[in-house]
């Protein structure tokens, strides 16, 4: 059952919130040993919240659009009094003294938090294998990764542990795992969803968004969490647009651009091979072509659009994101949060704590970022990456003068085997090549399940749009959802 169907059943009295929560806790108990989606299941808290909703309903009080809907939270979202680990040893024993704004808003909408989900440590990774607590497995094939870094959230939705989850997306961490797990993932416009209470990775890129089994559920969740928040200085101070009402309006007259740089080998793109990103598999491109045809059949016009700087995104991102991370993660000093490994003096305590607390990938990012920002290299690395970012913003703005949305793959391939890319960081980074442009530009993008690859595993196609185009993106996503070939997307 979808989140919206569950909420309707709870509000009509057909089902109790308590029964809905119990059903999901049972499923978690049955299968999460195999999947490893959760760092922490909040069974007692979820039961208490469900009981509160049921009694509010009994008293005839309003309960919100997501009444009784179980949600899973990526474990880098602060929850008051409840461990928030970022899947790192560094935060051992830390209980945040406040809830993230998104958590407050979900609760206000009636949703019931059932647990905190696994991620790559501090959201750095594309497979959820960089977790201090062990990997999460893909519910479609447990020998495969679920993607990352929000792999626990995507797996939780795909395994039906919760119809809704929140993830965070810095370079693709909502969309990439959603694609590999056959579910919907939306990265909103930068600033549209408050980052207050999201543990910072790269603050100019981080954005929270929904992962859901259906486009309508993702839209309802986005509606619940988005909108201005004075507690986040980068929050956009404009009224929140209601996306659910226009979801069924279709795409008649919509101008869709196939993004040439992400679509080498597409039947629509001629001779872009030289200037396109490498490694996007033929079966994935074939699904993008089918998606373009489906949008066309629904009344959209399709053209091919080029943004040459898209191929530079990966290099720019892997300087900018580590640079910001090296600064953000300086706060884990053994004094203020979590872990402390004692020593004779403060400096040694600081070194011992960070040596013991951070995993290999986090250390690699801190070193990369510190290097890129250091006096002799700032201009050559960080400065240059910022110039690429500006170029991308200009090129995408020019592209959106001609089309309303851009279409491409979400990921280069379907889900890969656990361990296949852990020995080669660069190979792992290449997973993000299609998702990174929307982070560098700050634009919204959504991944929609669209059939399966040659291996039978889910493929996601990605729709990108200009700032605040979420209503249009979700409308187009709803059309693709209806047209999707059966297979990979279904759980």
Q: How far is the CB of 44 from ligand GLN (least distance, A)?
A: 30
Range in contact with ligand GLN (rule: CB under 6 A) among 99-107, 122-130, 245-253, 472-480 = 122-130
Q: How far is the CB of 201 from ligand GLN (least distance, A)?
A: 6
Contacting residue, 123, 164, 295, 310, with ligand GLN by CB under 6 A = 123
Q: Is residue 128 a contact partner of residue 151, using CB atoms and an 8 Å limit?
A: yes
Contacting residue, 117, 149, 235, 447, with ligand GLN by CB under 6 A = 149
Angle at 96 between CA 137 and CA 136, to 5 degrees: 5
Question: Token match 């959504």: residue?
Answer: 446
d(CA 364, CA 372): 12
Under rule CB under 6 A, residue 124 binds ligand GLN: yes
* Of 130 and 306, CB closest to ligand GLN: 130
* Of 129 and 169, CB closest to ligand GLN: 169
Length of the chain: 491
The catalytically annotated residue of 87, 127, 149, 309 is 149
The catalytically annotated residue of 16, 127, 173, 326 is 173
Pairing of strands 301-305, 164-168: unpaired
CA nearest to 474, candidates 485, 466, 463, 484? 463
* Of 200 and 461, CB closest to ligand GLN: 200
* Of 127 and 214, CB closest to ligand GLN: 127
Under rule CB under 6 A, residue 170 binds ligand GLN: yes
Question: Token match 């001629």: residue?
Answer: 270
* Of 214 and 439, CB closest to ligand GLN: 439
Asked about 187 being catalytic, the answer comes back as no
Question: Token match 């308590």: residue?
Answer: 18
Q: Is residue 138 a contact partner of residue 414, using CB atoms and an 8 Å limit?
A: no
d(CA 84, CA 314): 29
Range in contact with ligand GLN (rule: CB under 6 A) among 15-23, 118-126, 260-268, 274-282 = 118-126
**Per-residue x/- track, 178-207, ligand GLN (CB under 6 A):** -----------------------x------
Range in contact with ligand GLN (rule: CB under 6 A) among 4-12, 43-51, 123-131, 210-218 = 123-131
In sequence order, the 6+-apart residues with CB closer than 8 A to the CB of 149 are: 119, 120, 123, 124, 125, 126, 128, 130, 167, 168, 170, 173, 177
Contacting residue, 125, 135, 357, 488, with ligand GLN by CB under 6 A = 125
Q: Is residue 179 a contact partner of residue 449, using CB atoms and an 8 Å limit?
A: yes
Rg (CA), the chain: 21
Residue nearest to ligand GLN (CB): 173
Q: How far is the CB of 474 from ligand GLN (least distance, A)?
A: 20
DSSP symbol at 382? I
Q: Phi and psi dihedrals of 198, rounded to 5? A: -90, 125
Q: Is residue 114 a contact partner of residue 40, using CB atoms and an 8 Å limit?
A: no
Binding residues for ligand GLN, total number by CB under 6 A: 14
- Mapped onto helix, strand or coil, the DSSP state of residue 400 is helix
DSSP symbol at 241? P
Q: How far is the CB of 239 from ligand GLN (least distance, A)?
A: 28
DSSP 78-92: -BTTB---TT-GGGT
The catalytically annotated residue of 11, 74, 187, 421 is 74
**Per-residue x/- track, 315-354, ligand GLN (CB under 6 A):** ------x---------------------------------
Under rule CB under 6 A, residue 266 binds ligand GLN: no
Under rule CB under 6 A, residue 257 binds ligand GLN: no
Contacting residue, 36, 96, 151, 172, with ligand GLN by CB under 6 A = 172
Which of the residues 429 through 488 are near ligand GLN (CB under 6 A)?
Answer: 432
DSSP symbol at 189? P
Q: How far is the CB of 309 from ligand GLN (least distance, A)?
A: 19
Token pair in block for residue 113? 């938090």
Q: Is residue 476 a contact partner of residue 463, using CB atoms and an 8 Å limit?
A: yes
d(CA 384, CA 373): 11
Under rule CB under 6 A, residue 126 binds ligand GLN: yes
* Of 361 and 470, CB closest to ligand GLN: 361
Asked about 173 being catalytic, the answer comes back as yes
d(CA 256, CA 258): 7
Under rule CB under 6 A, residue 129 binds ligand GLN: no
Token pair in block for residue 441? 């530009």
- H or E stretch covering 407: strand 405-409
Range in contact with ligand GLN (rule: CB under 6 A) among 29-37, 164-172, 217-225, 241-249 = 164-172
Asked about 447 being catalytic, the answer comes back as no
Contacting residue, 54, 169, 395, 470, with ligand GLN by CB under 6 A = 169
Q: Phi and psi dihedrals of 375, rounded to 5? A: -50, -50
Under rule CB under 6 A, residue 171 binds ligand GLN: yes
Q: Which residues of 15-28 are buried (b: 16+ CB within 10 A; e: fewer)?
A: bbbbebbeebbebb
- List active site positions: 74, 149, 173
Binding site for ligand GLN (CB under 6 A): 123-126, 149, 168-173, 201, 321, 432
């Amino acid at each position: 059952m979808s989140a919206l169907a569950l909420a309707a059943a709870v509000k009509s009295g057909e089902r109790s919130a308590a029964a809905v929560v119990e059903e999901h806790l049972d499923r978690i108990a049955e299968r999460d040993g195999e999947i490893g989606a959760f760092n922490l299941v909040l069974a007692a808290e979820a039961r208490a919240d469900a009981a509160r909703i049921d009694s509010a309903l009994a008293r005839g009080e309003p309960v919100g659009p997501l009444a009784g809907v179980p949600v899973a939270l990526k474990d880098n979202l602060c929850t008051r009094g409840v461990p928030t680990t970022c899947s790192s040893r560094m935060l051992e024993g830390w209980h945040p003294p406040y809830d993230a704004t998104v958590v407050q808003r979900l609760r206000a909408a009636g949703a019931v938090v059932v647990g905190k989900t696994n991620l790559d440590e501090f959201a750095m990774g594309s497979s959820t294998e960089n977790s201090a607590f062990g990997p999460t497995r893909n519910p479609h094939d447990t020998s495969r990764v679920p993607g990352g870094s929000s792999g626990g959230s995507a797996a939780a939705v795909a395994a039906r542990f919760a119809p809704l989850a929140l993830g965070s997306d810095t370079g693709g961490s909502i969309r990439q795992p959603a694609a590999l797990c056959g579910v919907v993932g939306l990265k909103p416009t930068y600033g549209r969803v408050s980052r207050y209470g999201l543990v910072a990775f790269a603050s100019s890129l981080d954005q929270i968004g929904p992962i859901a089994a259906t486009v309508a559920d993702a839209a309802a969740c986005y509606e619940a969490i988005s909108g201005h928040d004075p507690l986040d200085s980068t929050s956009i101070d404009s009224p929140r647009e209601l996306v659910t009402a226009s979801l069924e309006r279709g795409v008649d007259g919509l101008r869709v651009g196939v993004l040439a740089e992400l679509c080498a080998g597409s039947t629509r793109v001629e001779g872009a091979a030289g200037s396109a990103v490498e490694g996007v598999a033929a079966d994935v491109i074939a699904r993008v072509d089918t998606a373009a045809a489906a949008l066309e059949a629904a009344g959209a016009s399709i053209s091919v659009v080029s943004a040459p700087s898209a191929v530079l995104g990966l290099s720019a991102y892997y300087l900018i994101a580590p640079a910001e991370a090296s600064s953000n993660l300086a706060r884990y000093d053994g004094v203020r949060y979590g872990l402390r490994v004692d020593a004779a003096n403060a400096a040694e305590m600081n070194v011992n704590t960070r040596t013991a607390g951070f995993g290999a990938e986090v250390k690699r990012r801190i070193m990369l970022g510190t290097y890129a920002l250091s006096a002799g290299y700032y201009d050559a690395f960080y400065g240059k990456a910022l110039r690429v970012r500006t170029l991308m913003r200009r090129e995408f703005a020019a592209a959106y003068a001609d089309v309303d949305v851009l279409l491409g793959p979400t990921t280069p391939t379907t889900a890969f085997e656990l361990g296949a890319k852990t020995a080669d960081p660069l190979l792992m980074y290449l997973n993000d090549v299609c998702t990174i442009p929307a982070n560098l530009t700050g634009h919204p993008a959504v991944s929609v399940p669209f059939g399966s690859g040659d291996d039978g595993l889910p493929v996601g196609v990605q729709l990108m749009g200009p700032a605040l185009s979420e209503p249009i993106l979700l409308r187009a996503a709803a059309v693709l959802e209806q047209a999707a070939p059966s297979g990979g997307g279904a759980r």
